[in-house]
Chain A
Amino acid sequence: MNDLATRLGAEDLIGEYAERIDEDRLEEWPDLFADPCRYLVISRSNHEAGMRQGVMYAASRGMLLDRVFSIRRANLFEPHRYRHAIGPIRFKSIEGDVAVVNAHFIVARIMQDGLTSLFATGRYLDRIDISRVPFRFQERIVVLDSDKIDTLLAIPL
């Protein structure tokens, strides 16, 4: 696979990820991951200190699906949506079937009454399985710039 096709495939995956979350297609979000996988939302201070406990963690597609089921059926919170702005996307390296890609993000949270606020900023540290098309996340670590989360984190970032 040539370099440009790899880049386009990875960009497409990263864009698809944001679209499925922001357009409330959460049921399709786990499909973007390989199985097993690693999905972790963690603050930069924890990550840089080598600590592994984040605020959201999944090690399988099943755990991602359970997160969606729980948000839809079990957890109670005020309805809200996100809007992701992603970029720049940085291609770091290709290690065999894995592309190592980083991307910056900003997420706004829009509450049901329209109140919009800056909810999270940070970086995606991705390891993307490029062995077949469409590409899938083997690992996505969501590194939050801040230790603080306003009210709660229900929808994945």
Chain B
Amino acid sequence: MSQSALTADRGVSWPSNGISEVPFRVYTDRAQYDREQERLFQGPTWNYLCLAVELAKPGDFVSTTIGEAAVIVVRDASGAINAFVNRCVHRGNLLCLERQGNVKEFSCIYHGWTYNLTGQLTGVAFEHGVQRQGGMPDDFHKEEHTLRRLRVAELGGLVFGTFSDATPDLETWLGEDVTRGLKRVMNRTPHVLGRSTQILPNNWKLYFENVKDTYHASILHLFLTTFRINRLSMPGGIFINRDGGSHYSFAKLDYAAEDADYQHAQLRSDSEFRLNDNSVVESIDEYGDAISVQILTIMPGMVLQQVRNTIAVRVIRPRGVDRTELEWIHLGFDSDDEAMTERRLRQGNLIGPAGYIAMEDGCIGGFVQRALQYNDDGAGLVMMGGHEAESQSFRASEAAIRGFWKHYRALMGG
């Protein structure tokens, strides 16, 4: 290929109006990345901000990001949760540097401008000058200045924010199925067991697609098959919401049969293919519905997972065309006893940056990204299970990935 062919015609062009062929340049194009920040992360979508329990008292705040944009979430004196951009109206400085804490007001370190917990500008240092010299002009009125506010919604103890006035209310936007899936997992008061952040050397969409990809699970992740676990899993299904970008997939497990199988395995001699210590997978049916895996995604960058007794929120944060931060927030519930907590901690080995059934997802996107380096013409195929993005009763399917592209194309306008 000539040099001109490599450098000409940059930009994303879709082979059709469909969603089962995805141009590789969506993962490499800088202009596309910039538009995603505007149209997806700051567009009509609900983005995970924090847990409601992290904002227990008035003045409790969390600073985070939606996409790349810095935002603050805080509970005010009335008990309401407010969110606004973490950017002083004066010179654009980061208003809040700490990740989490409690404040009476926000005060900018640069020139001392202060804001109350609703984001209203309340104080300007030397507003009337020093000894009547200088000061802000008469046409400046601080009550006219407020931090850019986000709309906030809470569901199942999770706090979400949206930049857009056009986003429908959260439950309507998620749809009945995904709302039900979220409420199922978050049915008690959560607390954080621990956090970690994985730096992924790839475009954020490669990870979000991976989570929606029920096809790869038993092929890329060999832990369960190597140690002959999960042979007793029963079929599940996929629910995709109307827009397509949010979904959940689930699978059931015959817990009692698995338990019996472990007992039986103790007597057998093929220990090479057996875990020495089963406690990493020994789980209980804590929801009473036999569902052992439920992976739920919310457009554009949140995952809520139940894998056996591990409960976690994952937040996908783009940090450049080919770099993504993935935060894992491991949860327990206030009703857990010590045995339940220990069970969750041990099964915690299954997930996260060192997870037995997750670590491959940390590198696979980077391998794709490397392959696309100046080799990003053409389109990938997402056709397993058809061309549409409908809910399905089987999981060897790429329907949820197609759902993502359906929503993506609608939001991006092309």
Contact = CB atoms under 8 A, between A and B. Distances in A.
A75 B359 contact: yes
A65 B276 contact: yes
A153 B345 contact: no
A56 interface: yes
B103 interface: no
Residue from B196, B220, B360 with most neighbouring chain A CB atoms (10 Å): B196
B98 to A, nearest CB: 12
Given A53-B345, A63-B279, A148 B193 contact: no
Interface stretch (B221-229, B232-240, B251-259, B405-413): B221-229
A73 B353 contact: no
A65 B201 CA distance: 30
A153 to B, nearest CB: 4
Interface centre among A41, A46, A149 (most CB of B within 10 A): A149
Contacts of A3: none
A77 B360 contact: yes
A119 to B, nearest CB: 11
Contacts of B356: 70, 74-75
Q: Name the interface size band of chain B.
A: 35 or more
B359 A56 contact: no
A56 B349 contact: yes
A75 B363 CA distance: 11
Contacts of B352: 55
B227 A147 contact: no
A148 B325 contact: yes
A70 B201 CA distance: 23
A52 interface: yes
B366 interface: yes
Contacts of B363: 76-78, 151-152
A54 interface: yes
A20 B305 CA distance: 35
B147 interface: no
B348 interface: yes
Contacts of A78: 363
A34 to B, nearest CB: 15
Contacts of A153: 353-354, 359
Chain A binding surface, main DSSP class: mixed
A57 B192 contact: no
Interface string B323-352: 001000010000000000100111011001
B360 A75 contact: yes
A42 B363 CA distance: 21
Contacts of B276: 60-63, 65-66
B290 interface: no
Interface of B: 192-201, 220, 222-223, 225-227, 272, 275-277, 279-280, 325, 330, 341, 344-346, 348-349, 352-354, 356, 359-360, 362-363, 366
22 contacts: A45-B195, A46-B194, A46-B195, A53-B330, A53-B344, A54-B194, A54-B348, A55-B353, A55-B354, A56-B354, A57-B346, A59-B346, A62-B276, A62-B277, A66-B277, A67-B349, A69-B227, A70-B356, A75-B360, A148-B199, A150-B199, A152-B198
Interface of A: 41-43, 45-46, 51-63, 65-67, 69-70, 73-78, 147-154
